[in-house]
């Protein structure tokens, strides 16, 4: 294929972005090349709000033909959590045809080298970025996120995570030089001299198993880490959230073709209802890398059964916030209220258990009893969500019936401190919108333990009364060790308590946010700076993103010759 975009042009266009990303992961200061504001789009080839909406609408009730080899059928059936049927069909693959075709371009992709691969990935991300408004609707109508969140988390923040993975992958591959001259002195004899050539080689085929709630944000790190390290990537989206990843695959294929590579290096594996192809694909011998976000049970299954592959999983955890004391009671309440409400608590990072001493806490507004803290938090959530338009913009929609069922069952687990309310969405009457429930539990009661020691994914949190802050710290330790945690939060003005919470997080490898009272929330992480998960507790075996996330996606082959 003749490249429409040469390596030279790619370098001129994207090398500065790659260099900035490399610098950002080194300093971990704030940086992003992807604008967060919807109004920032519409120039230099990017779609503005209207064009993005029109592009999304034009996709509805069509067949998304990716031009993939081995397409034997068309499948679809996504229904938006907002109630509309997308009516889009996607290629269903005969994987015995598709997989060999995906391998055909791997040699040229390997030979292109780390820099070209990275810059092609940056170009893919740039094209995705240009279509952020279109992706926002695609993410909204598959995940149930409210528009603004779908726009930001599904757009620039996901693109940031993808670019971060590209930067790590590039840095890892160029740690070893392409060639080396090795000369070893031999006393009076001639030195030994070798020329050595080092080539990063891909492991093989990478499989990305996407999730329902964050198809792009959780999908891009693995996709781009694998692609940038030379692997072909097969994308198996969640059946309820195909569109955002199908568009991603489409763009990747276009860019690969335009840069002179085989578009089949990236392909989609959509499935028929109930087909369950993830298991089949995950155990194919060609599949050497798997990235997965989803339930603990399937993540564990992958780790146990896909033994031919490197498996990177983000599973489930039980996130804890210890509430001990604060010098900003209002700030704490509003910060927590936001964290519990955002996307109806359907984030792997949303706090579930709020551990509060039975005797109450110290605050800048005087001592507050356990019941007062719980009631004040309930009021803060109520206040935040009191206006229906604001509530809709914050909550989004319940992603699936299981979450709704869990929410409804939660009220029966203990005394309800804040009841869940139904909110109507005037724009999308079919949307299931619910405010969070807060249930009081007793940390000393074995019956209650069954509830708070299980992940209850969705808008459910537990205010757990504990005998002392030491008990809270020990319960935190046990929860992280046994159940895992993507996030831990704590409020304390006591440096000794703070130190003991920090120590538990260091020992159990959990990411800790302390005394957040402003506009940063425990459930949000920023690419290039924050790690998402630690990879060191049961919630996830990898962190986004670090050296370990990329280093084993390729191997280095050395060829040495005498000089």
- What residues line the site for its own copies (CB under 8 A)? 25-30, 107, 110, 172, 175-177, 180-186, 192, 194, 196, 198-199, 201, 203, 303-304, 307, 502-503, 505-507, 509-520, 526, 529-531, 534-536, 543, 546-548, 551-552, 555-562
**Residue 540 beta carbon to its own copies: minimum distance, rounded to whole angstroms:** 10
**Residue 110 beta carbon to its own copies: minimum distance, rounded to whole angstroms:** 7
**Residue 254 beta carbon to its own copies: minimum distance, rounded to whole angstroms:** 27
Nearer to its own copies, 162 or 200 (CB): 200
Nearer to its own copies, 374 or 534 (CB): 534
**Residue 106 beta carbon to its own copies: minimum distance, rounded to whole angstroms:** 9
Nearer to its own copies, 25 or 472 (CB): 25
**Residue 518 beta carbon to its own copies: minimum distance, rounded to whole angstroms:** 6
**Residue 166 beta carbon to its own copies: minimum distance, rounded to whole angstroms:** 16
Q: Which residues contact 121 (CB under 8 A, 6 or more apart)?
A: 162, 163, 166, 224, 227, 228
Q: From residue 284, how far is each of 142, 208, 287 by CA, in Å?
A: 28, 13, 6
Q: From residue 202, how far is each of 101, 285, 461 by CA, in Å?
A: 16, 15, 43
Q: DSSP strand E in 419-527: where?
A: 422-423, 433-434, 437-442, 460-466, 488-491, 512-514
Measure the CA–CA gap between 308 and 285, rounded to whole angstroms. 6
Report how far apart the first and last C-alpha atoms of the chain are (Å, whole number).
36
Measure the CA–CA gap between 487 and 195, rounded to whole angstroms. 48
**ω into 545 cis (within 30 of 0):** yes
Nearer to its own copies, 110 or 137 (CB): 110
**Residue 394 beta carbon to its own copies: minimum distance, rounded to whole angstroms:** 18
Nearer to its own copies, 272 or 555 (CB): 555
- Exposed, middle or buried, 548 (CB in 10 Å: 0-12/13-18/19+)? middle
- 3 state DSSP class of 563: coil
Nearer to its own copies, 272 or 560 (CB): 560
**Residue 113 beta carbon to its own copies: minimum distance, rounded to whole angstroms:** 13
Nearer to its own copies, 4 or 503 (CB): 503
Residue 219's CB: how many other CB atoms inside 10 A? 26
Nearer to its own copies, 245 or 510 (CB): 510
Three-state SS letters, 329-346: HHHHHHHHHHHHHHHHHC
Are 47 and 131 a contacting pair, CB within 8 Å? yes
Measure the CA–CA gap between 295 and 313, rounded to whole angstroms. 9
Are 193 and 182 a contacting pair, CB within 8 Å? yes
Q: Angle CA(519)–CA(18)–CA(261) in degrees, nearest 5?
A: 125
**Residue 515 beta carbon to its own copies: minimum distance, rounded to whole angstroms:** 6
Nearer to its own copies, 140 or 501 (CB): 501
Measure the CA–CA gap between 432 and 511, rounded to whole angstroms. 32
Give alpha helix (H) positions in 269-351. Answer: 277-282, 296-305, 329-341
Nearer to its own copies, 22 or 257 (CB): 22
- Exposed, middle or buried, 336 (CB in 10 Å: 0-12/13-18/19+)? buried
Q: What is the DSSP letter of 291?
A: E
**Residue 386 beta carbon to its own copies: minimum distance, rounded to whole angstroms:** 22
**Residue 201 beta carbon to its own copies: minimum distance, rounded to whole angstroms:** 5
Measure the CA–CA gap between 460 and 345, rounded to whole angstroms. 7
Question: What phi and psi values does residue 254 have, to the nearest 5 degrees?
Answer: -60, -45
Measure the CA–CA gap between 117 and 228, rounded to whole angstroms. 5
Nearer to its own copies, 319 or 392 (CB): 319
Nearer to its own copies, 175 or 279 (CB): 175
Q: From residue 190, how far is each of 59, 186, 193, 561 by CA, in Å?
A: 70, 6, 9, 16
**Residue 311 beta carbon to its own copies: minimum distance, rounded to whole angstroms:** 11
């Amino acid at each position: 294929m003749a490249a429409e975009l040469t390596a030279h042009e790619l370098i001129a266009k994207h090398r500065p972005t790659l260099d900035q990303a490399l610098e950002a992961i080194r300093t971990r200061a704030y940086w992003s090349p992807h604008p967060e504001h919807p109004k920032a789009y519409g120039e230099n080839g990017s779609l503005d709000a209207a064009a993005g909406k029109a592009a999304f609408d034009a996709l509805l009730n069509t067949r998304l033909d990716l031009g993939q080899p081995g397409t034997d059928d068309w499948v679809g059936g996504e229904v938006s959590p907002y109630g509309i049927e997308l009516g889009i069909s996607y290629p269903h693959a005969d994987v015995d045809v598709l997989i060999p075709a995906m391998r055909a371009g791997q040699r040229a992709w390997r030979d292109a080298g780390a820099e070209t691969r990275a810059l092609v990935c940056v170009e893919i991300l740039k094209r995705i970025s240009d279509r952020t408004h279109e992706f926002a609707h695609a993410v909204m109508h598959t995940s149930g996120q409210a528009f603004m969140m779908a726009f930001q988390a599904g757009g620039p923040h996901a693109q940031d995570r993808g670019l971060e993975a590209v930067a790590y992958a590039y840095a890892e591959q160029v740690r070893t030089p392409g060639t080396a001259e090795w000369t070893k002195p031999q006393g009076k004899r001639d030195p030994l001299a070798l020329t050595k050539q080092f080539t990063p080689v891909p492991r093989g085929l990478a499989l990305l198993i996407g999730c329902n709630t964050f198809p792009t944000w959780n999908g891009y790190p693995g996709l781009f880490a694998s692609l940038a390290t030379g692997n072909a990537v097969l994308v198996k989206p969640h059946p309820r959230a195909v569109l955002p990843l199908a568009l991603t695959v489409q763009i990747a294929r276009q860019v690969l073709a335009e840069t002179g590579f085989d578009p089949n290096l990236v392909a989609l594996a959509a499935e028929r209802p109930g087909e369950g192809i993830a298991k089949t694909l995950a155990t194919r011998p060609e599949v050497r890398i798997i990235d997965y976000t989803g339930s603990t049970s399937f993540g564990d299954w992958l780790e146990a059964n896909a033994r031919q592959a490197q498996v990177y999983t983000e599973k489930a955890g039980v996130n804890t916030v210890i509430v001990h004391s604060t010098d900003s009671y209002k700030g704490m309440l509003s910060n927590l209220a936001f964290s519990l409400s955002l996307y109806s608590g359907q984030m792997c990072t949303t706090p579930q258990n709020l551990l509060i001493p039975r005797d109450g806490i110290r605050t800048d507004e005087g001592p507050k009893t356990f019941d007062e803290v719980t009631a004040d938090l309930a009021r803060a959530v109520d206040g935040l969500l009191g206006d229906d338009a604001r509530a809709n913009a914050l909550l989004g929609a319940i992603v699936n019936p299981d979450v709704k069922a869990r929410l409804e069952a939660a009220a029966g687990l203990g005394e309800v401190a804040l009841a869940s309310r139904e909110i109507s969405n005037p724009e999308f009457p079919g949307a299931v919108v619910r405010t969070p429930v807060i249930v009081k539990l007793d940390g000393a009661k074995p019956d209650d333990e069954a509830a708070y020691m299980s992940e209850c994914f969705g808008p459910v949190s537990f205010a757990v009364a504990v005998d002392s802050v030491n008990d809270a710290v020990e319960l935190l330790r046990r929860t992280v060790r046994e159940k895992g945690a993507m996030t831990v939060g704590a409020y304390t003005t006591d440096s000794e308590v703070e130190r003991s919470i920090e120590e538990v997080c260091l020992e159990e490898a959990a990411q800790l946010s302390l005394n957040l009272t402003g506009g940063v929330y425990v459930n949000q992480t920023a690419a290039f700076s924050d790690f998402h998960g630690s990879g060191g507790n049961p919630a996830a075996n990898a962190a986004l993103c670090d050296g370990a996330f990329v280093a084993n996606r390729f191997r280095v082959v050395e060829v040495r010759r005498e000089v």
